[in-house]
Amino acid sequence: MKLPPGKIPVDILKEVVFKNLGATRKEVIIGPAAGIDGAVLDIGDKSLIASMDPITGAVERIGWLAVNVNANDVATFGVDPAFLFSCMLLPENADKALVEAISSQMNAAAKDLGIAIVGGHCESTPSLTNPIVVGCIIGLTAKGCYVTAGGAKADDKLILTKSAGIEGTAILATDREPMLKKAMDAQMLQAAKSFYNQISVVKDALIAYRTGGVHAMHDPTEGGVAGGIHEMADASNLGVKIFREAVPVQPETARICGIFQIDPLQLISSGALLIAAEPESADAIICSLKREQIPAAVIGEFTENTRQRVLIKEDGVAEALPRPLSDHLWVALRR
């Protein structure tokens, strides 16, 4: 079976990866699982949250993304990201300037979020054409004081912050700028490139968690909002009903997706945050976010029927919520 670009399909994770996890240790409270953003280790009276992600589909701002994307995953537990390990794999023709560019981006992003860079690795890699940066971020909290992507409950409201396709919009606007200049307004294209400034959800997640009533949070990265919703539902063993007209899509995203003929709901969406909240707390969470100038809206709700994953379109017709085989960023980059 040939693998699609991006994340390995969840059935292969379950059949192969999750069956090869080394020794069993009592400190591991939450290990690898579908839809879960990181691991939880209990060490004394603390819970340690750790998450790892690579940046592979972007060239510009790759170091900045490596910090922010990994910080997002830890923050979805309701925990401040604190320590970063990084692995920089550079093209075989790389020079000192590239090392400095990536390192300075990581330094600036880490300082902005209060994260210490504590170790890692850097090498020039034979046959590699574009740089890859892998990050691992760790956060600490009082023992048991966190949520996971798998804690949603039936009837929970599903809240989305910001909008769908944020990271994908920024990547395409930057890496495909010469092509897009011919197809869209220059001012709109510049605005789309600035979407990188929306990619952190650390503030979103901590505000929501501290407001109360949050059962689960998830950062929709590869596979976009649609993929992230499926991952939350998988991890929580629930179904879900989504209202398409309630899912915010910014005009720049809609335009770029139209040009590349891709679905904004299946476009990598770092910068958005999915929050499962008890119904009576949803309004308070949205108000807390909006007070900090973070847009948020209820886009659906979780249901008991695990086989019910539906998208209600603008005309009221229900269809299956798409489960992306591959992020639509890869579809666009091939065109």
Instruction: Give 81-140 pLDDT, tens digit per residue.
Output: 999 999 999 998 899 999 999 999 999 999 999 999 999 999 999 999 999 999 999 999
Looking at residue 38, the DSSP 8-state letter turns out to be S
Same domain, yes or no: 32 and 122: yes
Percent of the residues in the chain that have a pLDDT greater than 70, as a whole number: 100
Is residue 202 located within the same domain as residue 318? Answer: yes
Backbone angles phi, psi at 159, to 5 degrees: -105, 140
**Domain final residue pick, 142, 176, 195:** 142
With a cut of 80, say whether residue 210 has pLDDT above it: yes
The verdict on 111 and 176 lying in the same domain is no
Q: Compute CA 293 distance to the chain's CA centroid, rounded to the nearest angstrom.
A: 20
Q: Which residues contact 114 (CB under 8 A, 6 or more apart)?
A: 80, 82
Q: H/E element holding 63?
A: helix 62-75
The CATH number assigned to the domain holding 130 equals 3.30.1330.10
pLDDT of residue 7: 82
* Residue 297 and residue 230 share a domain: yes
pLDDT at 60 > cutoff 80:
no
Cβ atoms 73, 204 nearer than 8 A: no
Structural domain count of the chain: 2
pTM: 0.91
Q: pLDDT band for position 6 (50/70/90)?
A: confident
* Higher per-residue confidence, 206 vs 130: 206
How much is the average pLDDT of 222-237?
95
pLDDT band at 57 (very low <50, low <70, confident <90, very high): low
The whole-chain average pLDDT of the chain stands at 95
Is 150 within a domain? no
Confidence of residue 54 (pLDDT cuts 50, 70, 90): very high
Would you say residue 148 lies in a domain?
A: no
The two beta strands, 157-161 and 296-303, are antiparallel
Give the pLDDT band (50/70/90) at residue 34: confident
Residue 173: Cβ within 10 Å count: 25
| Percent of the chain predicted with pLDDT > 90 | 89
Mean pLDDT over 312-320 rounds to 94
pLDDT in tens, 267-295: 999 999 999 999 999 999 999 999 999 99
Last residue of a domain, one of 94, 110, 142: 142
Question: How far is residue 279's CA from residue 297's CA, in Å, rounded to a whole number?
Answer: 13
Q: pLDDT at residue 186 above 80?
A: yes
Separation in Å, CA 228 to CA 22, 179, 274, 289: 28, 29, 8, 20
| Structural domain that includes position 110 | 10-142
From edge to edge, which strands make up the β-sheet containing 81-91? 28-30, 39-43, 46-55, 132-142, 81-91, 116-125
